[in-house]
Chains A and B, each alone.
Chain A
Amino acid sequence: MTEKILEVEDLNKFYGNKQVLHDISFSLNKGEVLTLLGPSGSGKSTLLRCLNGLEEFKSGTIIFEGKKVIPTAKNWQQLRQKIGMVFQSYDLFPNMTVLENILLGPVKVQKRPKAEVEKEAKALLKRVHLEQYANSYPRQLSGGQKQRIAIVRALALHPDLMLFDEVTASLDPEMVRGVLELIKQLSDEDHMTMIIVTHEMNFAKQIADQVLFLENGTIVEDTPGKEFFEHPKTKRAEEFLESMEF
């Protein structure tokens, strides 16, 4: 019996009077990868940001690790240590070295001993082949390197769920591969539970256990990954997949 890590029920979100998410419901099993697909403006990123409280939602329930999330600022602060997020624009802190960026969360937020975290951070850096940059500043790194550091920064908190928001969208094509390989590794080797918003269809095809296809803030399809790419249930998803092929 697989364990559910996340359940979302009837989530509705508005920007002013405009409803941007309509009755979103889905669930995610521990260790699985959920990919959010859909055209621009379909609400993928907004949904992702609702899941760690960066966006408020009007109604609906989020159940994380069996507990209903009471959406207060304090609770989200706690939960974000368990729900890591990586952004499109990496957003490393420019005033800190790579190592300081990684240590900030575990040492200052989680109050773990610095020596222990530092050892762990160095191991993580080694894993992403960037150990020689521990004392460099983000400005000395390429986009792909920064994004891998941003992933390490999120992992250092020992999250149970990782959210990736178009993490390769602003990278040079050559840099994309390294980042995607790392995410794939996290899934294959660490069995990390992840929700990924991406436009890299080949990647999504390889990694997704489950696909949510969104349009205009509504879930059009909720289909197992393999099936979605081979036999999408809806005409709309079929069109979308065709438009992505070149």
Chain B
Amino acid sequence: MSWAIIQQSLPQFVKGFQVTVWMSFVGIIGAMVVGLCCSLIQYFHVPVIDKIVSAYVELARNTPLLIQLFFLYYAFPVIGLKMSAITCGLIGLIFLGGAYMAEAFTGGFDGISKNQIESGEAIGMSKWQLARYVVFPQGFALSVPAIAANIIFLIKETSIFSVIAIPELTNTALDLIGLYYHSNEYLFVLVIAYAIILIPLSLLLTWLERRVRYGTFGD
């Protein structure tokens, strides 16, 4: 291990770090929006669309991100849809993450006890009012742990972007190794860089889980 080699590579890793962070951020926000919409469609059993959503969730969750990216990047241009690597990466992450987030929200909504629903019905609430005042506030709180796990998972999945040459962290490391062969140093920096993103985030999310849970249910 040479400190000098690490130091020299740092500017490139900083760039890769930035790409990983902003793409994860945009991808996760997108995935949460898609996931919430899908889960609401399923909750209200919107005819026809709910079937499409179920099919999407199954498809996205049961195919690897790697293959999804290959499709977007190599197969879509064949049918005339050519997108930049960055666009493909974001679409892929949102496509995959949306399905996982949908499952997380749905799990939360399903986790509300039957007694809570009945006690809402017993004061004359409509299905919509029940959703608005009982199911959603409690359901979101219940879904926080699953959402947090998905966030961590999706950030790690961005390493797969390297296969379509998006200059994020993993791609940066692989490029440098290919050029200079200092794999020990570059892999070391790579691990540290992911740890810098993920460890504080994971601690923050655990704190948030507890806080939301206490705020909603008091235990």
B123 and A80 contact, CB distance less than 8 A: yes
Q: A104 and B119: CB pair below 8 A? A: no
CB of A148 closer than 8 Å to a CB of B: no
Query: CB-defined interface of B114-131 with A at 8 Å, one 1/0 digit per residue?
Result: 011011111111100100
Pick the contact of A91: B118, B141, B216 (CB < 8 A): B118
- Asked if B124 and A78 sit within 8 Å, CB to CB, the answer is yes
**Total count of chain A residues near the partner, CB < 8 A:** 29
Tell me which of B85-93, B132-140, B143-151 binds A.
B132-140
The 13 listed contacts between A and B (C-beta, < 8 Å) are A80-B122, A81-B123, A81-B124, A93-B119, A93-B134, A94-B138, A95-B137, A105-B123, A105-B124, A109-B126, A154-B123, A157-B123, A157-B124
Is the pair B133, A139 in contact by a Cβ cutoff of 8 Å?
no
Contact with A along B200-214 (1 / 0, CB 8 A): 000000000000000
B218 at the A/B interface (Cβ < 8 Å)?
Answer: yes
| Cβ–Cβ contact A77 & B122, under 8 A | no
A153 interface residue per 8 A CB criterion: yes
**What residues of chain A have their CB less than 8 Å away from a CB belonging to chain B?**
52, 54, 77-78, 80-81, 84-85, 87, 89, 91-96, 104-105, 108-110, 137-140, 150, 153-154, 157
State the main secondary structure of chain B at its contact with A.
helix
Contact A109 B123 (CB under 8 A): yes
Q: Are A95's CB and B141's CB within 8 A? A: yes
The reply to whether A108 and B141 contact each other, CB–CB distance below 8 Å, is: no
Residue contact B123 to A153, C-beta cutoff 8 Å: yes
In the complex, whether B3 has a CB less than 8 A from a CB of chain A is no
User: Which B residues contact A (CB, under 8 angstroms)?
Assistant: 115-116, 118-126, 129, 133-134, 137-138, 141, 216-219
| Nearest chain B CB to A55 CB, angstrom units | 10
Cβ-closest 7 pairs across A and B: A139-B218, A91-B119, A105-B123, A80-B124, A81-B124, A85-B122, A109-B124
Chain B residues with Cβ below 8 Å from A154 are: 122-123
Q: How far is the CB of A233 from chain B (nearest CB, A)?
A: 33
Tell me which residues across on chain B come within 8 A of A85, comparing CB atoms: 122
